[in-house]
């Protein structure tokens, strides 16, 4: 398997341009994120990822997490790697200083997290779930719960999880049956089963803090009757240390296609009617905490698509440089490394350009989240929140779809070797395949985009973004170097505008037509928005070249990559306008029993 090296130059440019990290430092909360600090953080994160986490990726895939009578043991080396991560203070990078965090921007945290996910996606899931639990407690927990749990969760000494899914419910959270009963001491007794719980049990930390969705006996039906509870594996004693074991257990692990080192648990709560939980937020208002967790997780899962595609791209380049086969097309010369063949060049350039567009889109979303949380001006906070809400389903779905597509291209570039496990290429593809499924399937993200986000605030946020894209395309239209991008970006945003207006104009009688166009619309949205944020970087690269600053080879490559994306990736996406607006008639041309005819 090829080595991993964090793409620090590209990450830094994406932070500068797409996330606007220099502007973020003008917000008092993020004033510590100076250029020198950002460079140091990225450099050290890249070293930890490459030297400690990446070598364990194949180990974790082959050994997997092991279950034995309720106990889960992680693969060889994982505990030491996690300890090194915690001891380095990495877990608290973006969390509030009030409870021991460092208070740095979420956008910078995404860049750092990308290195973990590229190096070892399975291991990176533990801190990812923990982050969601911290966010939920920070925004919805009582002061006592914050005091007891946040310092240890933020440090990484303890780990947090999300417990949502049940066998009969799946994505329909309102159908859950886990029960909660009030106890006289103000706590609750939790009883039920949850499935697909990532890192629900493991031996990396001294305690595991579960956030569990459950329903009180007198709660309304559906999602209006869901409450959220904090349920620790060990009940803290008077000193806040893990004490008595709570009445919960891991009943088994799923045997999965990929991420073998990430324990996907079936969790049993209250087998002995003694599982103690504490309410997070208000009774019957658990969806608020859930969406706080899930919106954070959805951006981070989208980042996994970026990360795993980056790892696959690096492997594909290394193989293509070494693999010698056939003369170039039209030549009678000797066999050459396959990176010389135009067919392979198309695949590699598509991988490179798409990864960089995905990264730019994801970091831009992270910057919007930072402004929404911390900008001193209320109008700017609202504007940023609207953009973050709009882009979150796009990041989650488009980036993870592309992650699967690009890890598949890595296998194709390897040829027959790509189908052999020893090459390492299959692991990236297998690991990537879960990301379009968990934290809300990509179909759900598409329906969220067209069903909620287009209508949000009368469409103000998508209209503003599309206007920015049109203005940018107009600004570069006459540029000798960047002008070719303008034509394709203009075509893309006009198709996107047409599709958005058509979808937003549908009423309930046209619900099937809206649903039929949702997924291709999200793909079009992701491609155009990703192309836009990538093109912004190309303009900055040109500015730095003209000023004689920065690495001229990297900057020239950025411009070429952005042009390739515009000319080769945008036109096929623009063609999706037809399928988006065609309606759903032919989707229902067959009766259900005719599909098997």
Among residues 392, 395, 423, the alpha carbon closest in space to that of 407 is found at 423
C-alpha distances (whole Å) from 520 to each of 13, 142, 470, 481, 588 are 29, 42, 21, 31, 18
- Is residue 278 classed as helix, strand or coil in its secondary structure? strand
CB 354 within 8 A of CB 565: yes
Integer angstrom CA distances of residue 366 from 204, 276, 380, 385:
28, 36, 15, 11
The pairing of strands 188-198 and 179-182 is antiparallel
Residue 282 and residue 87 in contact, taking contact as beta carbons nearer than 8 Å: no
- Residue ranges of E strands in 175-237: 179-182, 188-198, 208-216, 227-232, 234-236
Coil, helix or strand at residue 268: strand
* CA geometry: angle 103, 237, 164, nearest 5 deg: 60
Residues acting as catalytic residues: 439
Nearest CA among 322, 267, 329, 334 for reference residue 129: 267
CB atoms within 10 A of CB 510: 15
Contact assessment for residue 183 and residue 255, using Cβ atoms and an 8 Å cutoff: no
H or E element: which one contains 243?
Answer: strand 242-245
List Cα–Cα distances, 465 to 106, 399, 461, 531, in angstroms.
21, 19, 6, 13
CA distance 581 to 499: 7
What is the spatial distance between Cα 37 and Cα 407, in angstroms, rounded to a whole number?
Answer: 33
DSSP string of 320-376, one letter each residue: HHH-B-SPPTT--S---BGGGSHHHHHHHHHHHHHHHHHHHHHHHHHHHHHHHHH-S
Q: How far is CA 347 from the centre of its chain?
A: 24
Three-state secondary structure call for residue 415 = helix
Q: What is the dihedral of CA 587, 588, 591, 593, to 10 degrees?
A: 30
Q: Report the alpha-carbon distance of residue 32 to residue 411 in Å, rounded.
A: 42
């Amino acid at each position: 398997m090829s080595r991993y090296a964090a793409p620090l130059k590209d990450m830094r440019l994406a932070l500068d341009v797409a996330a606007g990290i220099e502007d973020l430092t003008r917000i008092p909360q993020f004033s510590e994120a100076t250029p020198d600090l950002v460079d140091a953080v990225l450099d050290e994160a890249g070293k930890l990822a490459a030297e400690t986490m990446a070598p364990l990726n194949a180990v974790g895939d082959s050994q997997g997490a092991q279950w034995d009578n309720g106990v889960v043991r992680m693969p060889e080396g994982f505990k030491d790697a996690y300890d090194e991560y915690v001891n380095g203070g990495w877990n608290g990078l973006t969390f509030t200083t009030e409870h021991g965090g460092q208070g740095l921007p979420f956008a910078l945290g995404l860049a750092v997290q990308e290195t973990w996910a590229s190096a070892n996606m399975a291991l990176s899931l533990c801190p990812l779930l923990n982050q969601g639990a911290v966010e939920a407690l920070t925004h919805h927990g009582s002061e006592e719960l914050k005091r007891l749990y946040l310092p240890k969760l933020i440090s990484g000494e303890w780990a947090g999880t999300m417990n949502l899914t049940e066998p009969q419910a799946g994505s329909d959270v309102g159908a859950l049956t886990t029960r909660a009963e009030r106890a006289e001491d103000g706590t609750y007794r939790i009883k039920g089963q949850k499935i697909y719980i990532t890192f629900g049990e493991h031996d990396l930390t001294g305690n595991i803090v579960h956030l569990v969705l459950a329903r009180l006996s007198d709660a309304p039906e559906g999602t209006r009757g869901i409450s959220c509870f904090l349920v620790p594996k060990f009940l803290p004693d008077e000193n806040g240390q893990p004490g008595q074991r709570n009445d919960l257990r891991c009943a088994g692990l799923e045997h999965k296609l990929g991420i073998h080192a990430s324990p996907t648990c079936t969790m049993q709560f209250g087998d002995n009617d003694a599982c103690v939980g504490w309410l997070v937020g208000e009774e019957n208002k658990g969806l608020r905490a859930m969406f706080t967790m899930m919106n954070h997780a959805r951006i981070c899962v989208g980042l996994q698509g970026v990360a795993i595609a980056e790892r696959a791209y690096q492997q594909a380049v290394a193989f293509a440089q070494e693999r010698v086969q056939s003369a170039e097309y039209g030549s009678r010369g000797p066999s050459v490394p396959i990176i010389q063949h135009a067919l392979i060049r198309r695949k590699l350039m598509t991988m490179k350009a798409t990864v960089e567009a995905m990264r730019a889109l994801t970091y831009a979303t992270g910057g919007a989240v930072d402004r929404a949380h911390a900008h001193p001006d209320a109008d700017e906070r609202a504007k940023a929140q609207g953009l973050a809400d709009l882009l979150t389903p796009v990041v989650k779905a488009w980036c993870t779809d592309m992650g699967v597509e690009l890890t598949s291209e890595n296998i194709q570039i390897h040829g027959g070797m790509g189908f052999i496990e020893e090459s390492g290429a299959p692991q990236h593809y297998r690991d990537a395949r879960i990301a379009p499924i968990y934290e809300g399937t990509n179909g759900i993200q598409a329906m969220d985009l067209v069903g909620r986000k287009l209508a949000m605030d009368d469409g103000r946020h998508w209209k503003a973004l599309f206007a920015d894209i049109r203005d940018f395309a107009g600004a570069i239209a006459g540029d000798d170097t960047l002008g070719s991008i303008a034509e394709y970006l203009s075509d893309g945003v006009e198709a996107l505008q047409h599709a958005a207006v058509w979808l937003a104009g549908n009423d309930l009688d046209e619900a099937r037509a809206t649903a039929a166009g949702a997924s291709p619309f999200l793909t079009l949205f992701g491609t155009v928005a990703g192309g836009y944020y990538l093109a912004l970087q190309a303009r900055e690269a040109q500015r730095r070249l003209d000023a004689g600053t920065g690495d001229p080879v990297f900057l020239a490559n950025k411009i070429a990559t952005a042009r390739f994306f515009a000319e080769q990736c945008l036109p096929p996406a623009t063609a999706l306008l037809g399928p988006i607006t065609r309606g759903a008639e032919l989707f229902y041309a067959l009766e259900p029993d005719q599909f098997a005819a």
